[in-house]
Amino acid sequence: MSLECFKPLFDSFPWLLLQLNVEQKGVFFSCFLGFLALLWCFIRNSNKGLPPGPKVLPLIGNLHSLDVSSETHIYFASLSQTYGPICRLWLGLKVGIIITSSALAREVLKDKDAIFANRDVSAAGREFSYGVNDLIWNPYGPKWRMLRKVCVRDMLSCSNIDSVYALRRRELRQSINYLYSQKGLPVNVGEQMFLTVLNVMTSMLWGGTLKGEERASLGAEFRHVVTEIAELISIPNLSDFYPGLAWFDFQGVIKKMKLLLKRFDKIFESMIDQRQKLDRNGVGQESKDFLQVLLKLKDEADPKMPLTMTEIKALLMDLVVGGTDTTSNAVEFAMAEIMNKPDVLRKLQQELDTVVGKDNIVEEFHIQQLPYLYAVMKEAMRIHPALPLLAPHCPSETITIGGYTVPKGSRVFVNVWAIHRDPSIWQNPTEFRPERFLDNKWNYSGNDFNYFPFGSGRRMCAGIAMAERMFMYSLASLIHSFDWILPEGETLDLKEKFCIALKKKIPLVAIPTPRLSNPTLNSNKGLPPGPKPLPLIGNLYSLDPTYFASLSQTYGPICRLWLGKKVGIIITSPALAREVLKDKDTIFANRDVPAAARELSYGGNNILWTPYGPKWRMLRKVCVRDMLSSSTLDSVYALRRKELRQSINYFYSQKGLPVNVGEQMFLTLLNVITSMLWGGTVKGEERASLGAEFRHIVTEMAALVSIPNYSDFYPGLAWFDLQGVTKKMKVLAKRFDKIFESMIDQRQKLHRNAEMGDGVGQESKDFLQVLLKLKDEADFKMPLTMTEIKALLMEMVLGGTATTANTVEFAMAEIMHKLDVLRKLQQEVDAVVGKDNIVEESHIQQLPYLYAVMKEVLRMHPATPLLVPHCPSETCTVGGYTVPKGSRVFINVWAIQRDASIWKNPTEFRPERFLDNKWDFSGNDLNYFPFGSGRRICVGIAMAERMFMYSLASLIHSFDWKLPKGETSDLTEMFDITLRKKIPLVTIPNPRLSNATLYE
């Protein structure tokens, strides 16, 4: 064999020789050849116990086989045909081990994974990774585990990827729009996909930092740098295979990589500087990008294992370089294979047309409904795995694999490309046939070593979820939006070119022809899609969360309704909910106040309906700090206890008889709320007599707020009050106002008498007393008025009764439907409280299963299933669509909390899913937020939590429950502004405490 194949190794470092005179060159080559001769002697004496392999050439071993002009993965596969599933190469002074069977791959990547979890770091890789400070090249150990945790948990988790869906959507729509502008013209598919994926990655990395042209202008520079970096990492470098020569950097690889790294570093420094400035100035809190996450993690890191700025830049490098080439190459290969198989293209388009429709565009939520597309992706990754030899592994100790010695520090190549084409595993392995994956037998978990395109074990790719989404979303959009043909006279070529990542040898150039019915579908401009409106009334005929959920199946996670002349926007995904409630919270912090709500809130003067601003902040502060704080709630525990004991006593008096649970819980909670509001003001029968009147008023008010009112949707008709909603609400509000005036008058009389020295009223601490005191002490610039006090009382009575009562009723119905849950609850309460004792509020912190039951009830039956509608203060973009100023925005928390992609068996009542305490009511995780999120999150969470837990624990502990004979448990929901049971729960209580006096 000639040394001609070794020539490229020398061609890349003439710059060094040009600096030497003739005599110096002679000395250099004499030393160099002498050094190689010594290495040759070493190699010849070091083959004992190693796997078989090809004959070693003098001086260079088998280094010629890594020539960049050859197809290394194919050459390695051919070696396995001669030498078996494990064979050896000498790469200079380093041993290379090639694994080409699933059994031996399992041995390396699973059985002995800890030993092979390190990397043989190349000189180029060391520079690229800021001195081995990234995830790809970092040695296995605590630092690597910390970095992987940062990537998997804090950056590339499903929830974080969801949260930046709008960025992906925007960039892909721009790409599709570009292809539409090129209709009928040849397009380089791989190049366009590279730029698309690059824009997606950089948008997710610092999408909230750079805007417009400044971000877009980075595209060309990044593509050039990424391409050069990939080539430098792939070059066989003498510095890697002859460590003694590393200092000389003969080929200039390190020098070139340093120059490229400086260009990247300049960009990273600029991004980091801008992000830190924005954060210091308090600007940019609405923009959530990965750089913001990383900088926050750096500030909060454990001092024993800090996340450094160098590591942040190294991780950014991993994501930019690792997340672009591989995905764009995979999509290009898939497109080429599909165009080579017209029947596959036809099946794909039929599936997309059925699921998406030709009058709609592909959204990411569609991809879960596209099994054939999923099979196409798997087949493309089988034939053309992104990293055909994976990233080389390096054993931390000498070990035996397949009966042969694998030395410590050797470079181990796992030829996944060859395993994926093994005819003993795959029928017709070179044929592109997606049907082989339709049985869902194969996945990307890395557990089956016949198919593992993303690797396996500890060093498995951390970005699988991201790659999967980008591949599916991109390919679906390309296939759905266009028909594709080759330019005239061109033929399709599927040859591969080996680099660190596999790419097409000849780029795919194809002509797109639009196939959607409406060319404007690919534009980012305009309202979200939605159903066709009816004349005059638009889509006003249904405002139900189940209907809204069905709309999302057709039109996507953001869709539009016309509610008369008003635009309604429905959000049905955690990512877009985050965009509204977190990222753009200040814009969406207002309410679209209906006419009925304006009346019941005394002209929008309560927490729920007051516009966002100083007045709202003052009212919220009053509620959170002075009325509903933990200390204030503790101070009125005696009132809660008294009312709940009276309710338990009532149930005891009805033992053996059917009882309407929801009705009784409503009255209990109403008595609790009114006791806390003015419990020290009204005594005995006078307070109790208010119960029936209040329940009637509350029920009627909730119905009026929920009625679709023409006055709200046709502003020009508001004056006429055609449905009489405003008139009816005024009448009801007057009845409340009369009660409030009476309570306030009595409280003020008691206060005046106390000031005169008779001591009346000093022992009674209730919320009305607190509010009147705050009114007297209020800042004159932001006074608390008597109107606002009455509005807050109204809100407490309305908001604190029906919602909690309905939730307790749903909980009882679900528990009676699941007797094993009832049994577990009673066992837990008996263990903590005892059957010779009654439940106290102090017990509930010791009842984790009861807490899980509460969370599960609120997941399945959130009190306000669409939250209280939000209203943007300015026209903005959500999910790539326009949301007009003043529109009514519904967040369908009911649908999100039943989303099968988030929750396993979402319609099953299974409290166990909450036992790990992963989920809370903070509103930070937009997969679970029953009380809302952001500035307008419910202020009464602490109160609702206490009352639910205390009430349910008392009911479950005090009684066994059974349905009346012949009755069945019905869980059908009825939508109001709050969610309630359609058929009231009527059930029979049977006492279970050991001492009857405990019920007194």
Binding residues for heme: 461
CB atoms within 10 A of CB 425: 14
Q: Tokens representing 125?
A: 């890789």
Contact (CB, 8 A) for 835 and 993 = yes
Dist CA 988 CA 981 (whole Å): 18
The residue type of 194 is F
The residue among 163, 857, 247, 875 whose CA lies nearest residue 469 is: 163
Dist CA 364 CA 265 (whole Å): 33
- What is the number of helices (H) and of strands (E) in the chain? 39, 24
Instruction: Report the alpha-carbon angle 322-505-228, nearest 5.
Output: 40
Q: How far is CA 625 from the centre of its chain?
A: 32
Handedness of CA 964, 966, 971, 976 (dihedral sign): negative
Handedness of CA 287, 293, 296, 300 (dihedral sign): positive
Residues at the binding site are 461
Contact (CB, 8 A) for 870 and 937 = no
Dist CA 147 CA 154 (whole Å): 10
Contact (CB, 8 A) for 886 and 564 = no
The residues facing 512 across adjacent strands are: 484
Residue 597, phi then psi, degrees to nearest 5: -70, -30
Contact (CB, 8 A) for 454 and 461 = yes
The SS3 call for residue 539 is coil
Dist CA 632 CA 628 (whole Å): 6
Dist CA 873 CA 683 (whole Å): 46
In sequence order, which residues have a C-beta less than 8 Å from that of residue 78 and are 6 or more positions away? none
Q: How far is CA 178 from the centre of its chain?
A: 28
Residue 334, phi then psi, degrees to nearest 5: -60, -45
β pairing state of 870-871 and 659-660: unpaired
Dist CA 961 CA 821 (whole Å): 13
Q: How far is CA 189 from the centre of its chain?
A: 29
Q: Tokens representing 834?
A: 């005892």
Dist CA 289 CA 79 (whole Å): 46
**Which residue bears the tokens 């595993």?**
425
Q: 3-class secondary structure for 50-61?
A: CCCCCCCECCCE
Residue 13, phi then psi, degrees to nearest 5: -130, 40
Handedness of CA 658, 663, 666, 671 (dihedral sign): negative
The alpha helices in 356-419, defined as continuous H runs, are 371-383, 416-419
Dist CA 669 CA 797 (whole Å): 9
Overall residue count recorded for the chain in this entry: 1000
**Which residue bears the tokens 């019915």?**
517
Burial state string for 447-459 with b = 16 or more CB within 10 A and e = fewer than 16: eebbbbbbbbbbb
Contact (CB, 8 A) for 88 and 52 = yes
Contact (CB, 8 A) for 949 and 607 = no
Contact (CB, 8 A) for 999 and 674 = no
3-state helix vs strand vs coil in the chain, percent to 5: 55, 10, 35
Extract long-range pairs of 538-546: CB within 8 Å, 24+ residues apart. Answer: 538/562, 538/563, 538/564, 538/565, 538/713, 539/563, 539/568, 540/564, 540/708, 540/713, 543/708, 543/975, 544/975, 545/865, 545/866, 545/892, 545/894, 545/895, 545/975, 545/979, 546/894, 546/973, 546/975
